Amino acid sequence: MDIFETLANPPYSDNIEIDPRSKNKGGRNIADQWYLLDSCGANPTYHLGGCIYTTKNPAVQSVDWLQYRNPYGNLWQCSLITGAGSYPAHSNDLHDFGVFKPDTTTNFYLHNPAKNLWCMGTGCAPKLDSLDDEQAIIDLIQGQVDSIQNGLWPADKFYVTRIMTNQREYGPLFFQKISKVIDSLNLIPSSTLQWATIGETFAAFQLWQTSTGLDHSQWLCGQATTPLEDVNPDESDFQVYPNPFHNMITIDSPDNQEHMIEIVNQLGCRVYSGVLNTNSTIDLSALSEGIYFLRIDNRTIKLVRN
């Protein structure tokens, strides 16, 4: 039996979605690819991945996502693009969470409700290869969940993230890595993190639209709220110094109680966690320069490493 037909039927069809991908070279187009997959029993969707939405050199490769907004002269028409990137070298890949309708190639991130093609962001999508540390992937996704739960990212957004893999590496050892990632993330309650195909994700987004009254959602990977405004030094009395810091920070507590602390980067990935007593000095020399967020109980303090 054809592999596509196998994957398109139980028990795999509940978890696997087969989407055509944008590789329209040499006279091919996505409609042809869709019909080819359909003839193989794949039940392909009307969702596309790997689309080019902007290019620095149109003579080499033209912007191709615009073509998906219009029919090819037949009944086939794309409804949703995902994994959109730029050319060359995908130097400006789409790193938005959420779902929106792109406007033009120069205003791709501008939502235009008059357009008919939805784009689903990939968020801070990590890639898992055979040489990668799967625990880093687990920590990153957990950090994203924590960023939403703890208010570092706003609650009135629709978040979509994914883990990318390369099918060329599929094999017993690599599947062990994937299994560890899945098993670890399954420990997160389903009310907080849910697995879904692209189709299931878009259906959830439509329910979110109805419940919130909002037309679309966008939140840039790495973006953060301004937690310093949420912290009143007179109320918290936690002293953190020096800030900006280079290698070490010291945290002075106003009481003798234990406080759970953690430090996350701008992607929401946890880079440090521990317990604060009266005062603590923490070595953060392993961190690269940039902005971080220190969480103490329900307080958030912005840190800068220089």
- Asked if the structure places residue 162 within a domain, the reply is yes
Range of the domain at 46: 3-93
Q: Please tell me whether residues 9 and 85 are part of one structural domain.
A: yes
- Are 249 and 215 part of one and the same domain? no
pLDDT number for residue 93: 67
Rounded CA gap, 158 and 57, in Å? Answer: 33
Whole-number pLDDT of residue 230: 43
**Shared-domain flag, residues 26 and 80:** yes
For residues 102 and 53, is the Cβ–Cβ distance under 8 A?
Answer: yes
Per-residue model confidence as pLDDT tens digits over 95-135: 789 999 988 877 788 899 998 889 998 888 888 888 888 88
Calculate ∠ Cα 285-220-22, nearest 5°: 115
Per-residue pLDDT in tens (0 to 9) along the chain, 306 residues: 578 889 888 998 888 899 887 665 555 677 778 888 888 889 899 888 877 777 666 666 677 777 666 544 556 778 899 888 776 555 556 778 999 998 887 778 889 999 888 999 888 888 888 888 888 889 888 888 888 887 878 889 999 998 888 888 888 889 999 999 999 999 999 889 999 999 999 999 999 999 999 999 998 776 766 443 344 444 457 889 898 898 999 988 887 777 778 887 766 667 887 888 767 889 998 888 887 888 786 677 888 888
Final residue in a domain of this structure, among 220, 235, 262: 220
Our count of domains for the chain comes to: 3
What is 105-139 written as a DSSP string?
Answer: SSSTTSB-TT-S-EEE---S--EE-TTS-HHHHHH
Residues 231, 214: one domain? no
Domain end marker among 192, 220, 248: 220
> Going along 203-268, which residue ranges are E strands?
217-220, 239-241, 248-252, 259-265
Is residue 135 situated within a structural domain? yes
* DSSP state letter for 102: B
Smallest CA-to-CA distance from 161 within 86, 217, 239 is with: 217
